[in-house]
A and B are shown apart, each in its own frame.
Chain A
Amino acid sequence: MGEILSKILTYIFVIIIYLFIYAIIRMIYFDIRAMNRKKSGGLADAYLKLINLRRDLDFNIDESYELEDDEVIGRGAKCTLRLPDKYLSVRHCRIYKADGSFFIEDLDSTNGTFLNGDELGDEAVELIDGDKISIGRLNFIFVMPKGVDE
């Protein structure tokens, strides 16, 4: 009798350890999720969505990047959005917000910035939801879900 009881209690004992591990991992998971949202402010109006397959790229890159009011994209350490693609220039292009719209401008990059397949000239161009931005080997879709209305 005592043997069976202690066996059953031991099962419960081990199950509790697993439940504990599950609870901890769940907490860590929710923590990381909350932190990621906090990092991007959770309020960004627009973001860049990567359309390359990540496994085709030999460097680390995120699936999407939320855009702040003024982003300089490039390979260099001083860029606000730093992407380690070696076909990018140190300061490649800039995406900024003005009068409630987002604009993209090329920063004299070596390989150019392409918007829907056309190379950008010297002037900044307004972005609209669904535009395709190509820089280096990377292709992004510009997404602005709500539209920006002040």
Chain B
Amino acid sequence: MSYARSMKPLFYIILLNAVGAALISISGGARSPEALVLTGAICVVSIICYTVVSFAGFGDPYLFLIISMLGSVGGIMQLRIRTAYGVRQLKWFLLGTACYFLAMLIFLAMRKILPRLTPLYVGVSVALYAATLVFGRTSHGSRNWIVIGGDNGLSIQPSELIRIFFVLTLAAIFTAQPDKNSKKKKKADGDKPFGLRPNAARLLSASAVTAVNLGFLLLQREWGIALLFFATYFFFIYVYGASRGYLLLNAAAAVGVGAVSLKYMGHIQTRVEAWLNPFADASGKGYQITQSLFAIGEGGFVGRGIGEGSVYFIPEVHSDFIFSAICEEMGILGGFAIVMLYFVLTYRGFKIALACTNRFNKAVAFGLSLMLGLQSFIIIGGVTKMIPLTGITLPFISYGGSSMLTTFAAYGILQAISALKEETTDEL
């Protein structure tokens, strides 16, 4: 690949940050030198990381580029909404980069033992859930925060971290070797695209693990993540060859749980009503979604201009509803660009999974890219009233430290898997 061509995306990232910084300073009037320094730091970090990844042979060079782009757009939007949010978001982005490479190195170092640690993953997940339930703090009807050190202390959302453990658990279950002492068989299985058809035991243990996770999430009223986990699990059992009957059974169970909660939980009822007919109660139940739709409509095709929209009418605009703000200020054209970025990112993830030769790594790559792709779909679908709205973050753009760091770690694992792929190709 020519040097000029491979450097072009980096150039666009820098250009975007420059234009973004100009926009922030002419519109908000809130000129923060710290914000400018951090925007510059993002550019520098992107250049360094991209160079390291592509020239040190750490596998796929596109992942980090796309993440940098998403993070830059997110940073600019956060700065535009509130300088303090933006500054913190950009700091998290830089910290996230460290997480990315840390997760990559940990995965590379531990890749031999990771497939055998299923009990550990489940144990850590359960411990985190328990800690959330005991020490947790309720916000917006969900008990999903742990606050360390007083009111202004560090608040973390353990369910964001559990996402990674959940994928690792499923991957370990579905690629577990029934016969541990026959190494020959192991090799033969590796040739097949997704391994042998799983036996009933594997499916059942996957279902059991998912049920435990969903149980805790529903206790915390984390419907967004619960939906995400279930969808990931469902695709997993489909890919790993569950029979049609078992798929139907799972779908029926999900519908059953949905129907029961619709009947007995006001929380869910409100959500569904707001989804089906938000304008019936536009100032009450449907407030969030109608404001989001107004904003998207207001933006039109090309948007009102960054800093010109009235984004403060949108509730939770910095986290769950950031996509509505993007659509208002950059238009549907800008919103579509963001969707395309997620599309390319998820495509790269699946590509890594397809190219991977190790069964466990393949499953992890598949699960992580699937989960993060679904996450973007769930929240973008939610704020555009395509599916019922469930609170979940938009990866790399929504405000939030836990989400940012763990999403970075997830992609760091993907990066590690792609690096391994290149390693094996060279050996052959």
Contacts and interface: CB of A to CB of B under 8 A. Distances in A.
B251 to A, nearest CB: 28
Interface stretch (A11-19, A67-75, A85-93, A106-114): A11-19
Given A20-B69, A23-B12, A9 B344 contact: no
Size bracket of the A interface: 20 to 34
Contacts of A16: 12, 15-16, 19
Given A6-B306, A7-B308, A13 B1 contact: no
A23 B8 contact: yes
Interface string B71-109: 001001000000000000000000000000000000000
B190 interface: no
Nearest to A2: B26
B352 interface: no
Interface string A53-66: 00000000000000
B66 A6 contact: no
A10 interface: yes
B330 interface: yes
B303 A14 contact: yes
Contacts of B199: none
A9 B62 contact: no
Given A20-B13, A20-B69, A27-B6, A5 B302 contact: no
Nearest to B62: A24
Given A20-B13, A27-B6, A77-B191, A14 B1 contact: no
A12 B348 CA distance: 26
Contact of B9 (A2, A5, A23): A23
A68 B15 CA distance: 47
B186 interface: no
A34 B1 contact: yes
Interface string B189-232: 00100000000000000000000000000000000000000000
Nearest to A8: B305
Q: B-side binding surface: helix, strand, loop or mixed?
A: helix
B19 A13 contact: yes
Interface in B280-338: 302-308, 329-331, 333-334, 337-338
Contact of A17 (B16, B27, B304, B308): B16
Contacts of A19: 12
A17 B62 contact: no
Nearest to B355: A35
A23 B307 CA distance: 28
B23 A30 contact: no
A30 B340 CA distance: 19
A86 to B, nearest CB: 19
B365 to A, nearest CB: 17
A102 B76 CA distance: 62
Contacts of B382: none
B5 interface: yes
21 contacts: A5-B26, A6-B26, A7-B308, A9-B22, A10-B308, A10-B329, A12-B19, A13-B306, A14-B303, A14-B334, A16-B12, A16-B15, A16-B19, A19-B12, A21-B340, A23-B8, A23-B9, A26-B5, A27-B5, A27-B6, A28-B344
Interface of A: 2-3, 5-7, 9-14, 16-21, 23-28, 30-31, 34, 77
Across the A-B interface, the 7 shortest Cβ-Cβ residue pairs: A7-B305, A20-B12, A17-B337, A6-B305, A23-B8, A10-B305, A14-B334
